[in-house]
Amino acid sequence: MIFSKFLNATNWHKRPYSEILDEVREITEYLDQNSDFKQVWLSEHHLQTTNNWTMECVPNPILLGADLASRTKSIRIGLAAAIATFWNPLRLAEDVALLDNLAGGRLDVGLGRGVFGKEAIHMNIEADLKDQPKNFRLFVETLEILKKAWTQDYFSHKGEFYEYPAPDFKYSNPLLNETSDVVDPETNVLKKISIVPKPYQKELPLWQVVDSPSSIEFAAKNGLNCLMWLPTIASLKSRFEIYANAKSEVEQRDVPMGEGIALVRDCFIADTMEEAKELAGEHFLRYLVSVCGGGRGVSIFANPGEEFPKTDNPIDLLTYDWIHPRNQLVGTAEFVTEKIHELKSELNLQHLAIWSSPPGMPHDASMKSLKLFNEKVAPHFSDDKLIKKVS
């Protein structure tokens, strides 16, 4: 099994930002030097500051990834995700390619569409989440441009949102030495453009943060791996099957369930179940209340066919004892090991990304939990020979 670390940095107590960066660096350097973790994942969030806390505080995972890459030797840097709909496609293509070169080819590129309305409408009005079909079309077009920019020496594009090169733009330079399909020799009209650098890797590993069946199917049919997070095992099973079936159809082979999917899970380990709940329960719950109340809703935690009780405020359902059996890996090392075996058995899970730094969690407690996972949980899966057919 592949293990990775989800590094969605937060700053609940409004400490100096440099302290948050130092903690992210400490986690990454520890994993690079002392574990078999494959990668760390960095998220992108904007405009999250309120009067007294910051729920998610990394606005640019590419820039942070460059810093972490310079401090490490083997661990991969993952974007989970760069919100493609917020970026100018050319800027995103260039910055990602540069990071891949800085990291020596240790980059995985996760892309997302955005989940919080306040972020989307202020970063790019075209990405407004109130118009989901338009947001999706913007994502699809941005992905198309990124793939062209990374894989073609020169390219052009004309779509609903972007046109490259700009229409009728004339380009001349004393050192101009372009072919006629790039610059018209008679009119100097620019016909194609290119980016520098190209990625270090011949084929960038691409991921999409997904939830809905349509997004999962789109990812499978367009060469994207999947990152999933919140649903229960029962709900995840149908999502895993959708991805495997669509990928099998496109690639004309029998793709085993679990291949190409990374599952993010809240994870915290302590000596007893009670201690784990006391140290981590309120922090994970606080974040889930924010996520569900801020846009996702609580239905993401429903099992197939399950109907929740009618309440004036659905967030009232979110208690630690209610959420814990649905998706939390919080408890003793033995408990977490057993739950991971369950994920393997039910989903053929091959890649688990753990998050142990929810808002308000003291850094020393998070580090202790991470070390316990590395020492007492990960070794149980070191001899995995996964990729089997799950019926």
Q: What angle do helix axes 17-34 and 363-372 make, rounded to 10 degrees?
A: 10
Is there a contact between 241 and 212 (Cβ–Cβ < 8 Å)? no
Biggest CA-to-CA distance, the chain: 77
User: Residue 59: what are its φ and ψ, rounded to 5°?
Assistant: -85, -15
Residue 134: C-alpha distances to residues 85, 127, 159, 224, 299 (Å): 10, 7, 13, 20, 24
We find that the CATH architecture of domain 1-151+196-209 is: Alpha-Beta Barrel (3.20)
Q: Can you give the pLDDT at residue 384?
A: 66
Dist CA 5 CA 315 (whole Å): 28
Q: Can you give the pLDDT at residue 200?
A: 98
Dist CA 24 CA 357 (whole Å): 10
Dist CA 298 CA 291 (whole Å): 9
In sequence order, what are the beta bridge partners of 157?
Answer: 164
Dist CA 354 CA 41 (whole Å): 10
Reference 204, options 359, 354, 76; nearest CA is 76
Contacts of 297 (CB under 8 A, 6+ apart): 314
Q: Where are the domains of the chain?
A: 1-151+196-209, 154-193, 263-391
Q: Which two tokens stand for residue 136?
A: 């999706």
Q: Which two tokens stand for residue 225?
A: 């791996």
Dist CA 157 CA 115 (whole Å): 27
Q: Which two tokens stand for residue 63?
A: 């820039």
Report if pTM > 0.75: yes
Per CATH, 1-151+196-209 and 263-391 having the same topology is answered: yes
- Domain 263-391 homologous superfamily, CATH: Luciferase-like domain (3.20.20.30)
Residue 82: C-alpha distances to residues 46, 62, 143 (Å): 12, 8, 12
Q: Classify strands 157-158 and 163-164 as parallel, antiparallel or unpaired.
A: antiparallel
Contacts of 216 (CB under 8 A, 6+ apart): 210, 226, 239, 242, 243, 246
Length of the chain: 391
Q: Can you give the pLDDT at residue 388?
A: 43
Is there a contact between 332 and 271 (Cβ–Cβ < 8 Å)? yes
Dist CA 175 CA 177 (whole Å): 6
Q: What is the pLDDT along the chain (391 residues), one digit of tens a residue?
A: 999 999 999 999 899 999 999 999 999 999 999 988 999 999 999 998 767 678 899 999 999 999 999 999 999 999 999 999 999 999 999 999 999 999 999 999 999 999 889 999 999 999 999 999 999 999 999 999 999 999 999 999 999 999 999 999 999 999 999 999 999 999 999 999 999 999 999 999 999 999 899 999 999 999 999 999 999 999 999 999 999 999 999 999 999 999 999 999 999 999 999 999 999 999 999 999 988 887 677 999 999 999 988 887 878 889 999 999 999 999 999 999 999 999 999 999 999 999 999 999 999 999 999 999 999 999 999 876 544 444 3
